[in-house]
Amino acid sequence: MTLNEYQHEALLTESYASQFSVIQSALGIAGESDECADKVKKILIDTQIVHKVDTDAIMFSPKQRYAIALKIGDVLRYCAALARDIDMTLEEVAELNISKINSHK
């Protein structure tokens, strides 16, 4: 699935008023990002990974990865909406971001 295909599918069930869509999308990103970070924090604390500083990488179980991926998807859905709200596709946003990243090298 391409980013543009995802954007189209993700926005099919949207139901909030268009005059508030930019606000809803931006606040949705903030809220879902917070929930995503909180999910990671809870997994790290609950499994006491935070206290295991002797390893180079944090390893998540498949169940934990799935739970985090669902939260990332929630963030992505609002990113798709906000991109639409500013009359851009997710692919255009992604391309701009890669250009910005590459310009900092």
How distant is the alpha carbon of residue 17 from its chain centre?
22
Under 8 Å between Cβ of 85 and 25: yes
Asked if the model's pLDDT at residue 1 lies above 90, the reply is yes
CA distance 73 to 81: 12
pLDDT at 53: 52
Identify how many contiguous H helices and E strands the chain contains and give both numbers.
4, 0
Q: State residue 104's pLDDT score.
A: 87
Smallest CA-to-CA distance from 32 within 64, 85, 78, 66 is with 78
Instruction: Specify the CATH number for 21-100; select among 2.30.30.30, 1.20.210.10, 1.10.287.1080, 1.20.1250.20.
Output: 1.10.287.1080
Domain ranges of the chain: 21-100
pLDDT on residue 78: 95
Mind listing the pLDDT tens digit for each residue in 25-73?
A: 999 999 999 999 999 998 888 776 555 555 566 778 889 999 999 999 9
